[in-house]
Amino acid sequence: MFLFTYIIVILGITFADDPLRPQYHLMPPQNWLNDPNGPVYYNGYFHMFYQYYPNTTPANQKQWGHCYSKDMVHWIHLPVALVPDQPYDINGVWTGSITLVNEIPIITYTGITNTNKQVQCQARPANLSDPTLTNWTKSLLNPVITNPDGRDPSTAFQDDQNNHYLIYGYGTADLGGQAVLFTSTDFLNWTYLHPIHSNHYDTFWECPDIFNVSQHVVLKASLNGRDFWTIGNVDPNKLIFTPLNHDLGEYIQLIDNGKFYASKTFYDPANDQQIVVGWVAEDDNQGEQRGWQGLLTLPRTVFVSDDSLELRTRPIEALKSLRDPNSHQQYLDVRLGIETSFELIPNLIGNQIEVLINWQFPTKQNLDFGFTVLSTLDGAQRTSIGISTLTNASLMLNWDLPGWDYFSVPHVNFWLDCQTACNRDNRCQAWTYDASRKLNDNCFLKSGIPLKTGNWLCISGVKQQEKDQQPVWIYIDRVLSQRNPDAAHSPYHDVIWMESSAENALSSLELDIFVDHSVIEIFEPRNGRVAITGRVYPEEETAKYLSVYARHIPTNNESIVIKTLDFWTLDSIWN
């Protein structure tokens, strides 16, 4: 049994009419929400636009939905901002961005023409004195860019001579995926320059963004079904972006390690921070019959690590305003001293909640523990949010690291050769040697650290970053989350490095976990090293409980301890 110290007994639960429909994530009134478009702060309001399919719209004709907010947390729906009604966008108003040009917000978006060509178009507010920016007027010069045939223009940037620069996604056989660069002096007449950056990790990039954070230039793009980032420099003469370390498409540099795509960033001058918001698609086959599909993530502030090599994110401070103070409960010093697969936490129930949990556990141990959300009383349906470590991750006997391969090393006859190949390659973060496979197809180098899976035919390893650090896997286990065989059950995970300098040293890891009916978002709130978004669809109406588990505990006298666990129910975002 675990010793739960119960502090506060007040509980308030908010129930939704649809037990799976999120209540504090940005969603359309009905039907399908796709990519976020051009978030912008203007005249004291945050405006969020998004790809939208109302029930009356053909599936191939995207519109721009619109809502606005004072704090990026509480939102008001507005009428649709842009509809496909011109030859240059009749088959869809696709993704775009907003740029403030002489303090005027200008939309640049991709239109799908009557011949299904992708062109770039513009629109301006019909009434600048309207704080809601409800009505927009398309430019008489549309389309303003007709070649190359790409999409998803980003927020433009300027040089010190007031030249405007714009990028959007594209791809060719010779260069692979790329962000193509244009310039203009008046923001209407654009000249194509060249790809600002490209590589062969995918054949086409979507939703590229380029922005500054703490005097660092960040380039992000959507490729291979994920959102990647890289920190680098732009040559002021050649106007070419060069990564400082790892590149777009390498899995060590994911903005979010879960169900997260087509994100958009923008600058928040009210709080002097860069914000990123991503699109979360459905992960089952029931969206159409539910009547709603897709949502946007919680807004996250973007910052750079102390060594200037990593992009990090955490939830914006304003999200704390969603907490119902009367629902707060706290547990202190809960010790997980025995192995168990399931034990309920007393008095905690809800599917519209935030949990702030601080774990303490020994380093250099084989551990697997965590807690579950959206659980039934008997645990038959539940979603596990866990932490897993190994005594020695640099050499993992009988473990596979499936996925994220970028190279199969030839002529490898022994696992040590595979490890050596990884150590010599800057891109390599982990490796797997599979004894069951033939020569030239048995050693795999990986540009990230996949979730470990037991396999007695494999030997794997994680490249050591620093002498006194070890990798720690944080995961979402969805095996029991839903019975629907057409819903995804594969896990999500992220990896961080933690100090392990002494044999009995204790590590602390704080996680901020948001559960909103069918969406889960996990963060490390202080250091911003963890971001995982997941979708689950529990069929049981009673799947609202929380529990803990410990599959592998320390072999010494130390314990796994929940130092603090704070629980709140959260209010709706809709005004």
- Cα 456 versus chain centre, distance: 33
325 phi and psi angles, rounded to 5 deg = -60, -25
How far apart are alpha carbons 353 and 35 in whole angstroms?
A: 25
With beta carbons less than 8 A apart as the criterion, state whether 404 and 410 touch. Answer: no
Expressed in angstroms, the distance from the first to the final Cα of the chain is 44
Edge-to-edge, what's the strand order for the sheet holding 176-184? 157-158, 164-172, 176-184, 191-199
What is the DSSP track for 238-301?
T--EEESS--TT-TT-BS-SSS-EEEEEEEETTTTEEEEEEEE---SS-HHHHTEE-EEPPPEE
Residue type, 306: D
How far apart are alpha carbons 45 and 72 in whole angstroms?
A: 9
How far apart are alpha carbons 345 and 219 in whole angstroms?
A: 43
Residue tagged active-site, from 35, 256, 434, 516: 35
User: Is residue 159 annotated as a catalytic residue, yes or no?
Assistant: no
Task: For residue 536, count CB atoms less than 10 angstroms from its CB and return exposed for 0-12, middle for 13-18, buried for 19 or more.
Answer: buried
Count of CA atoms in the C-beta half-sphere (13 A) of 419: 15
Report the b/e string of 158-180 with b at 16+ CB within 10 A.
eeeeeebbbbbbbbeeebbbbbb
Cβ neighbours for 69, distance < 8 A, ≥ 6 positions apart: 45, 46, 48, 75, 76
162 phi and psi angles, rounded to 5 deg = 65, 25
Give me Rg for the CA atoms of the chain: 24
For the record, the structure tokens of 233 come out as: 């420099």
Q: Which residues are catalytic?
A: 35
